[in-house]
Amino acid sequence: MVDAPTAGSEENAADAFLQGGPSLRHASGPYFGSYGGRWMPESLIAALDEVQDTFEKAKADPEFIAQLKDLNKNYSGRPSLLTEAKRFSEHAGGARIFLKREDLNHTGSHKINNVLGQALLAKRMGKTRVIAETGAGQHGVASATAAALLGLECVVYMGAEDCRRQALNVARMQLLGATVVPVTNGSQTLKDAINDALRDWVSNVDHTHYLLGTAAGAHPFPAMVRYFHEVIGEEARSQILEQTGKLPDAIAACIGGGSNAIGLFHAFLDDASVKIYGFEAGGEGVETGRHAAAISLGRPGVLHGARSYLMQDEDGQTIESHSISAGLDYPSVGPEHSYLADIGRVTYEAVTDTEAMDAFSLLCRTEGIIPAIESSHALAGAIKIGKRLTEGKDTPSDVTVIVNLSGRGDKDVETAAAWFNMLDEEGHVKGTTLSTRKPKGPTERTSEAAVDVNEDQN
C-alpha cells in the first residue's frame, strides 16, 4: 500500500475478493480480520460492555430507530442532497462528479449523525454527562449540540494547537454550553485529546459517556459509529440510482479516523463494480515524513484501544502526524479501514496539503461551495480518479464518481485565507482595516455572557 496501485491491480482486487466471498457489510466487531479488539484498561471494560449492550438493544428497538430517524429528518435535515458538480467535473477528466452534501447537515458536517445516536444511548444508560475529543472542532460542536438538545453536560477535549487552528469552533462549543479543555500534552492535537478524554472517562465512568467521534477505538466504537453513519451511503446509493439510473463507477472519501468514509463506503461494499477510494492526509508529502497517512505508510499496532495501522517509530512510540487539516491529523485509523485495505476492497492513497487546498479553491470557484479542508482531500482524490477512470474513453461523462463532502469550510476560512496569502502582516484579511469610524456595537460592552463563558472553562 506504499504506492498508489496501478489501474490494473485495482480492477482485480475487489472482484477477486468478492467472488463467492461473504458480505462485507454489517461486520459487528470486535475484530475486522486481525484488527480492532479491546486494548484497554480493565477499569473501562465494564463501561464498554454497557455501551455495547445498550447499543445492541437499541438497534433492535423500533422506538429507538424511530427517535433517531425523527432527529435525522427534523433536526439534522436529512436526507442530505446529492449534488452534481458540473463545472468542477470538467477538471476531473470529464467524469460526472456527485457531491454527497453532508456539509448541509445541521452543525455543518457528518459528525451530527453519530452524536445524535450516541447521545440517545447515553440517555438510555442514565448518564448525565458526555465527554468528547475533537480535532477540527466539528465533532466537538456536534457533541455540544446534541448535549444541549438532550440536556446533557458536555466537556470537550481539544488539542491546544487545534484550538488555535479552529478558534471559531471553540467559541461555537462554548456558545452551546460546553466546556472546552485545551490539551497541552504531547503533540497537542487529536491523539492527545483522546488520551485526556480516556483519562476523564476512567475517572468518571459511572455518570459519563465517552462520545467518541470516529470509527476507531475499542469495540464497540468502530462498529457503532459506522452504524450511525451508514445512512450516508444508503442515501447516496439510492440517490445516484435515481439520478443516473446506475451505480457509480467509484466513490471517494477522506480518512482521518475514517467515520465519514466508512459511512459512505458501507452501502457499496458488496457492489463489486464500485471502486472505493479513501484519501489520507499526505501533509507536506509522504516522502517528507510530515503527514498523517497511517495506512499508506504505517504498520499495525495498538493505539486508543484498537489494533490498526499506526504511525510509529522502531520503539512503538506514536509518531506525530502532520496535516493542514486538523480533522485528519491523527496517526492511526479505524480498524475496519485497515482490514478493507489489506483485503484490497478499498484503495487508500495520500493527498498532500497543496493538492487538497487546490481542490478547495476549485470547488469554491466552480460550484459556489466552500468545503471543509478535510473534505477537500476527497475532492482532490476525485480529480485524480476521475482522470484515471476516463483516460482513453470516448464519452468520459459515462463515468460517475460520488465524493463525500463531509463538512463545510466556514471553520477553515482563516486557515485558507493564510494559505492563499489573503492576510496582511498583522493577520487581518487584507482590505478590512480601512474604516476610520469609531467601532460600535458589541465590542463596546463587557458582555456578561462572555464572562460566564470564560468562567466555565475553569
Partner 1 sequence: MTEEFASKSAVAIDRAKAEGRAALVGYLPAGYPTVQESIEAGIALARNGADLIEIGIPYSDPVMDGPVIQAATTEAISNGFRVANVFDVVAGITAATDAAVLVMTYWNPVMRMGVDEFARRLAEAGGAGLITPDLVPDEAHEWFEASDKYGLDRVFLVAPSSTPERLDMTVKASRGFVYAVSIMGVTGTRTSVSSSAQDVVARAHAAGAERVCVGLGVSNPDHVREIAAYADGVIVGTALVAALRDGGVDAVGQLTKNLSAGLGRAAAEA
Quote the CA–CA distance of 266 and 263 in Å, as a whole number. Answer: 6
111 labelled catalytic: yes
Nearer to partner 1, 39 or 75 (CB): 39
Residue of 37, 93, 283, 409 interacting with partner 1 (CB under 8 A): 37
Residue of 315, 394, 425, 448 interacting with partner 1 (CB under 8 A): 315
Regarding 198 and contact with partner 1 (CB under 8 A), the answer is: yes
Nearer to partner 1, 42 or 448 (CB): 42
The residue range among 128-136, 229-237, 313-321, 371-379 that interacts with partner 1, by the rule CB under 8 A, is: 313-321
Catalytic residue among 133, 235, 367, 374: 133
Nearest approach in angstroms of CB 155 to partner 1 is 16
**3-state secondary structure string across the chain:** CCCCCCHHHHHHHHHHHHCCCCCCCCCCCCEECCEECCCCCHHHHHHHHHHHHHHHHHHCCHHHHHHHHHHHHHHHCCCCCEEECHHHHCCCCCCEEEEEEHHHCHHHECHHHHHHHHHHHHHHCCCCEEEEEECCCHHHHHHHHHHHHHCCEEEEEEEHHHHHHCHHHHHHHHHCCCEEEEECCCCCCHHHHHHHHHHHHHHHCCCEEECCCCCCCCCCHHHHHHHHHHHHHHHHHHHHHHHHCCCCCEEEEEECCCHHHHHHHHHHCCCCCCEEEEEEEEECCHHHCCCECHHHHCEEEEECCEEEEECECCCCCECCCCCCCHHHCCCECCHHHHHHHHCCCEEEEEEEHHHHHHHHHHHHHHHCCCECHHHHHHHHHHHHHHHHHHCCCCCHHHCEEEEEECEECHHHHHHHHHHCCCECCCCCECCCCCCCCCCCCHHHCCCHHHHHHHHHCC
Regarding 184 and contact with partner 1 (CB under 8 A), the answer is: no
Residue of 191, 226, 229, 322 interacting with partner 1 (CB under 8 A): 191
Regarding 195 and contact with partner 1 (CB under 8 A), the answer is: yes
Regarding 205 and contact with partner 1 (CB under 8 A), the answer is: yes
The residue range among 46-54, 116-124, 421-429, 450-458 that interacts with partner 1, by the rule CB under 8 A, is: 46-54
321 labelled catalytic: no
Residue of 18, 47, 156, 286 interacting with partner 1 (CB under 8 A): 47
Regarding 250 and contact with partner 1 (CB under 8 A), the answer is: no
Regarding 202 and contact with partner 1 (CB under 8 A), the answer is: yes
Regarding 42 and contact with partner 1 (CB under 8 A), the answer is: yes
The residue range among 16-24, 43-51, 387-395, 396-404 that interacts with partner 1, by the rule CB under 8 A, is: 43-51
406 labelled catalytic: yes
Residue of 8, 23, 151, 206 interacting with partner 1 (CB under 8 A): 206
Residue of 24, 27, 40, 340 interacting with partner 1 (CB under 8 A): 40
Residue of 109, 189, 318, 375 interacting with partner 1 (CB under 8 A): 318
Q: Residue 374, class by beta-carbon neighbours within 10 Å (0-12 exposed, 13-18 middle, 19+ buried)?
A: buried
Regarding 117 and contact with partner 1 (CB under 8 A), the answer is: no
Nearest approach in angstroms of CB 301 to partner 1 is 5
Catalytic residue among 100, 111, 275, 384: 111
Residue of 97, 253, 302, 359 interacting with partner 1 (CB under 8 A): 302
Q: Which residues are catalytic?
A: 111, 133, 406
Residues in the site for partner 1, rule: CB under 8 A? 37-47, 49, 185-186, 191-192, 195, 198-199, 202-206, 301-305, 310, 312, 314-318
